[in-house]
Chain A
Amino acid sequence: MSVVKFIIDGVECIAEKGEYLLQAARQNGIYIPSLCHLEGYKPRGSCRICNVKVNGRLMTACTTPVADGMDIENDTPELRDIRTAILEILFVEGNHFCPACERSGNCELQAQIYRHQIMAPRFPFQFPDRDVDASHPNILKDYNRCILCKRCIRAIKDENGKSFFAFKKRSHKVEISMDPTMKENLTEELAQRAMEVCPVGALLRKEKGYDTPIGKRKYDKQPIGSEIETAK
């Protein structure tokens, strides 16, 4: 195992060579915000909020392996502004009504928005016309809340590695589609897993949406990322 040294915002860090920057930073007690990242799965770098500056260049921390001597900027006004803007874009792009959402308190988008102290988005709300698909026996897809992070695409596969979810179309018209022919194969366990990997409330296991009461949910008490920062 070879160890590399690098610097994040002036703090010296060490990690195993080849480790992705996002993980490496977290091991050193530094939180780089992320949304599309999902532990244990190939990173996709699509939400862009983990953008950091590596030797002066914007790069996504979830997809960049650490190398010896990297000089990384993470918590700077410029990067905070980019992240805040991206979160605001996600917020106006869909229909996110937190008070009525089963995921409130467990929602990573909401948690990031709190962490970044966003009061009102700078961008106009798009209020898109989006569908709710409740046709499946185990799972409910509320596309109003989807942030197109591709976590469900990457994480939910059948025993042969076939996909249940995929992107469809392109541009702002892009959407997540569920395979109609595989409905019977999406077990309760997979539905549960789909709900867990979804950072927002776009995928819900039927009849399980309100398992934990509000007030006792993950981000009700402390901001997202603080467990990494306090562990330092």
Chain B
Amino acid sequence: MDTFVQEVLEAYQRDKTRLMDILIDIQAQFGYIPPAVVGQIAEALQVSRVDVEQTLSFYHFFSTTPRGEYAIYLNNSVVANMMGRAKIAKTFEDELGCKFGEVTPDGKVGLFETACIGMSDQEPAALINGVVFPNLTPFRVREIVRDIKAGKSPEEMLTASYGDGQNSSPLIKAVVQNHIYKKGPVLSDDYQPGEALKKIVQMTPEAVIEEVKASNLRGRGGAGFPTGLKWEFCRKFPSKQRYIFCNADEGEPGTFKDRVILTERAQLLLEGMAIAGYAVGATQGILYVRYEYKYLQKHLEEMIRIGHEKGYLGQNIGGKEGFDFDVRIQFGAGAYVCGEESALIESAEGKRGEPRDRPPFPVEKGYLDQPTVVNNVETLCSVVKIILNGGSWYRSFGTEASTGTKVLSVSGDCRYPGIYEVEWGFSVNDILDMVGADVEDVQAVQVGGPSGACIGPDEFDRILCYADLATGGSMIIFNHRRDLLREVILNFTNFFIEESCGSCVPCRMLSVIMRDKLLKILNGHGVYQDLIDLEEWGKIMKANRCGLGQTAPRPILTSLKNFRHLYEERLQDKDFDSGFDLEAAIKDACEATQRTPHLHKPERQETAYENELVGAIGDLL
């Protein structure tokens, strides 16, 4: 054990900013991070043990206890539930004889829940030692458990053909399907690697930025900051070193477009990163990929290697003296909040993924305190097409204020869940039509994932654009058979609770208090005041630092606004209900003392004295 850990520590030069990589390698080797190793890491990095633990304990996929030879992570997202996760979960538990959150007594199999793994078009899905098992059925689960018991490797357990496109390449070998149903500039097949690089070396960096500004391209992660402007800020901030980050930490439940782009258009993405590097004057790029996509690691490494071989990466790119740019991959370890750009940077520095206070902005003081641009996968891919065809060509797509295209990840109740690259300006109705949803039967659409908005049919004429329905691309469709509050809103709210970094007070605790209030209503204890409380309390969440904290109440708030009747029909016709369940509260004590108090007294007539008392109080009022 010692030698392996030493080798890992040496491989990262005992650099504490590479703690994530160190922990990932050790977790992969042992299936957990043994307590003795925590001390060894702390000593080597010259930090306290608690400093290693604060990072380690932050990320979902790290553990200080063994997670089993086979660590099964079954997605618990809304879409997974809609596609029959409950039966899958039960079959796993029954067949393995252990519950979720546990490891079988022989230490062989661990069963865990995990948030959306980016497979919403092929749910229910699980990760087993990093290998994706999509489209699970109880039959399939029994096969898997049988194979586990027979000692097969996860790779040997796959029974279907590998997926389409690069999914079947020897470096990926995944049974994942791309499900690309509509292509546009980002996904089109006519891409020739290196063409855009040839073009930019004839331009000044300033001219490249101008071209991107002329395209009016805005960040595709959801926030929509103008890309050209971001690059300009970074370029102008005085520094010797700058960094380009590609944010491939797509964790918004229901989103999976980056998975497909990383699989099919990795060269395009790397070229976009190199262009960004040239424009802002950065020589190092970091591709931050969520842990759930670790099955793409070899493929991505190969794409980087090919980039070097062909001269798209490395030194003097495109024959231009001094145009140096290299890319390294940084994996996350399971934390939605790391999709926030400053949290992503913190994570890449080996720390907890807690968002930073702003100012200073990452373009001034980002990775290792140097000016840093963080761009979404899709943004960087779009840049390549803008350079090749010009900013005005790009503006011909979409609307005047929201130019270009958006790659949508569509899932839920529709015929063809998958990837659709559409121009901005499509209405929700257009999209429902396009993806084969039964429009009459659609109850609601979640636009932009849990942090977006839950809208009903009366708003389906709204259009996707930054001024109306801005979106990072997640679209989840719910038909009338879905219990919107219990199946969807509660799930989303629990997601935000689990994914909070825990730093800001309202995000850490108020989200829990609001969830409990929602549960009170769902459990039949709600009164009208509870709705008012939820609306008022939701306003306090805007005091949080980052987007996660500020949007955490949105599932509740947008459903309260757009589906108020679903709440109101659950309310009781009285003014007050504490929601307190006396029987449940004293259950343990009753069992221990073997006494059963009479909590629900039988109906009885008021005594004369009581009647008198009530009358007297009435007179007083």
Contact = CB atoms under 8 A, between A and B. Distances in A.
A63 interface: yes
A163 B505 contact: no
B499 interface: yes
Interface in B484-541: 497-506, 508-510, 512-513, 516, 533, 537, 540
Contact of B542 (A58, A160, A182): A58
A171 B498 contact: yes
Contacts of A160: 46
Nearest to A185: B48
Contact of A163 (B47, B58, B359, B543): B47
A43 B360 CA distance: 13
A180 interface: yes
Interface in A35-94: 43-49, 51, 58, 60, 63-65, 81-82, 85-86, 89-90, 92-93
A169 B54 CA distance: 7
B468 interface: no
Contacts of A124: 513, 516
B54 A166 contact: yes
A216 interface: no
B48 A182 contact: yes
Contact of A48 (B49, B57, B504): B504
Contacts of B498: 171
Contact of A165 (B50, B58, B543): B50
Interface in B451-502: 497-502
Contacts of A173: 502
A171 to B, nearest CB: 5
Query: Interface residue tally of chain B, by bracket?
Result: 35 or more
A148 interface: yes
Interface residues of A, number: 47
A160 B502 CA distance: 28
A85 B545 contact: no
A48 B545 CA distance: 8
B20 interface: no
B359 A148 contact: no
Contact of B48 (A123, A166, A168): A166
Nearest to B337: A170
Contacts of A48: 504-506, 543-545
A171 B509 CA distance: 8
A182 B51 CA distance: 12
Interface string A134-171: 00000000000001100000000000101111111111
Interface in B34-82: 39, 42, 46-51, 53-54, 57-58
Contacts of A162: 46-48, 51
B18 interface: no
Contacts of A167: 54, 58, 352, 502
Contacts of A226: none
A1 B212 CA distance: 39
B503 A46 contact: yes
A221 interface: no
29 contacts: A47-B505, A48-B505, A48-B506, A51-B543, A58-B542, A64-B359, A85-B540, A86-B540, A86-B543, A93-B505, A126-B512, A147-B505, A148-B503, A162-B47, A162-B48, A163-B50, A164-B50, A166-B53, A167-B352, A167-B502, A168-B50, A168-B54, A170-B58, A170-B335, A170-B501, A171-B508, A172-B497, A174-B501, A181-B49
Given A163-B50, A171-B497, 19 more contacts: A45-B357, A46-B503, A85-B506, A89-B509, A92-B513, A148-B503, A162-B48, A164-B48, A165-B50, A168-B50, A169-B57, A169-B58, A170-B335, A172-B497, A172-B509, A174-B501, A177-B50, A181-B39, A182-B48
Interface of B: 39, 42, 46-51, 53-54, 57-58, 335, 352, 357, 359, 497-506, 508-510, 512-513, 516, 533, 537, 540, 542-545
